[in-house]
Amino acid sequence: MTLLLDVVTTAGVLFTVAMGLLVVFGVLKIINFAHGAFLTVGGYAALVTTKFGVSAWLAWPLAFASGGVLGVVVERLVVRPLYARPLDAILATWGLGIVISQVITLWFGREVQFAQSPLSGTVAILGDTYSLYRLTLLGVSVGLGLIFAGLIEGTRLGLAARAVIMNEDLARGLGIDTRRVRLLTFVIGCGLAALAGALITPLSSVDPNMGVPWLINAFMLVMVAGASFFSLALASLILGGAQVVVSTFVSPILGGMTIVLFAAVVLRLRPAGFGRD
């Protein structure tokens, strides 16, 4: 039972972290390798709320806002010139990640610091006790997934985004302001990344490089998932579950590379991954 909860909550965390990257990859067709740095920004936003003694719940909107604002600047300066060069976009955003983490280091110092969790303690569930915060995170990731799925399906921006995903030239030809769609999508993706960072810090710690390990796993999940939230959720569940199972029954170290290995093999056998062709 604990194993099942571990699997599901891990999948939830992975989904939350990867969502922002998926949004950007789906619409803009580029990989934002600064995603890890945005996670870090969100983590430090949570730290700031702890330092100021404000309620830890405020960390969430603060993180989303910080990520979004930074995203606007990044899109204009770094990402926009590179839409036609996706491999170079990976490199440039990786460089950006370095810059962001160094700025954070200069500002906050290099030590590992800790943010307060808004919730603590355990709860009795299904005959066992389990971490309340982890369960809450699961709920949050499901909620976020539903919100964004709703946004995509139900709003005009979502419709425009879907059009751009399917055929950008046609969308532009039909009068959709693809530039604005890209900008908004990128900003939302960065905001989501920062929010995810704030969500995960209570589980571990805050340091300038906390985003990097998450970046790789999120990247692999997005590659495997294709362009829909549903397939991302599926990928998070399956690959995240594999990670937990391997960590529990084999070794936590090998568990750490399960997602990466699994994803590479899946992509080799089925380039569309879990998505629809």
Partner 1 sequence: MVSSVMGAALLVATGPLILDTYSVSILVRAFLYALAALTVDVLWGYTGILTFGQAAYFGIGAYAAALIFTHVGFDWSTILLAAGLAIVAPALAGLVVGWLSFYPGSTPLYASVVSLAFPIVVTQMIFSGGTFSGSSSGLVGYEVFDLSIEAWFRIVGGVLLLAAGAAYMFVNSEMGRLLVAIRDNEMRCAYLGIDAPRVKILLTAALATIAGLAGFGYANFSGVVAPEIAGFVFGTELVIYVALGGRGTLVGPLAGTVLIDTASSYLSGDLPYVWQLIVGLVFIVVIVALPNGFTPLFSRLWRAIIGRRGRPRHLAVVLESPRMDAATTTATLEIVGVAKSFGSLKVLQDITLSVVDGELVSLVGPNGAGKTTLLRCISDGRERSSGTVRVNGEDIQGLPPNRVARLGLGRKFQTAAVFESLTVAECLRIAGVLRYRPSLTRPLHVLHLPEAARAVVETTGLVNVLSRQARLLPHGQKQALELAMVLALEPKIVLLDEPTAGLTSAERRRIGHILTELASRHRLAVILVEHDLDFVREISSRVVVLHQGRILLDGPVDEVVGSRLIRDIYAGSSHD
Partner 2 sequence: MHRGLQIGTTAALFGFALAGAALAQNPIKIGIPVGLSGANSVVAPSVVQSAELAVEEINNAGGVLGRKLALEVADDGSGAAGAQKAFDSLIFQKKVDVLISMETSAARNAGLPIVQRGKTPFIYTSFYEGRSCNPYMYVNAWVPEQQVPPIVDQFMAANNAKSFFLIGSDYAFGRGMLQFTRAYIEKKGGKVVGEEYLPMEGTDWTSIISKLRASGADALITSTAGGAPNVTLTKQLRAAGVSMPYGNLAVDEGTAKSMGADATGIFISASYVTSIDTPANAKFMAAMKAKFGNDLKTPNDLSVPEYEAVYAYKAAVEKAGSTKADGVIKSLAEVAVDGPRGTIKMDKERHAPLTMYLGQVEADGSVKVIKGFKDVDPGEQCPNLK
Nearer to partner 2 (CB atom), residue 168 or residue 207: 207
Q: Which residues, including other chains, have CB under 8 Å from residue 49's CB and lie 6 or more apart?
A: 55, 56, 58, 59, 62, 115
Q: Does 133 bind partner 2 (CB under 8 A)?
A: yes
Distance CA 67, CA 38 (A): 6
Closest of 277, 239, 276 to residue 261, by C-alpha: 239
Instruction: Go through the chain and tell me how many residues it has.
Output: 277
What SS3 class is residue 128?
strand
Nearer to partner 2 (CB atom), residue 6 or residue 168: 6
How many residues bind partner 1, per CB under 8 A?
A: 38
Nearer to partner 2 (CB atom), residue 16 or residue 231: 16
Distance CA 26, CA 226 (A): 7
Q: Does 122 bind partner 2 (CB under 8 A)?
A: yes
Q: List the single partner that 228 binds among partner 2, partner 1, none, CB under 5 to 8 Å by kind.
A: none
Contact with partner 2 (CB under 8 A) among 26, 255, 273, 275: 255
* Residues in region 29-68 near partner 1 by CB under 8 A: 31
Helix, strand, coil: what percent of the chain each, to 5? 75, 5, 20
Q: Closest distance between partner 1 and the C-beta of residue 83, in Å?
A: 12
Nearer to partner 2 (CB atom), residue 48 or residue 82: 48
The first and second tokens of residue 38, run together, are 């945005």
Q: Does 55 bind partner 2 (CB under 8 A)?
A: no
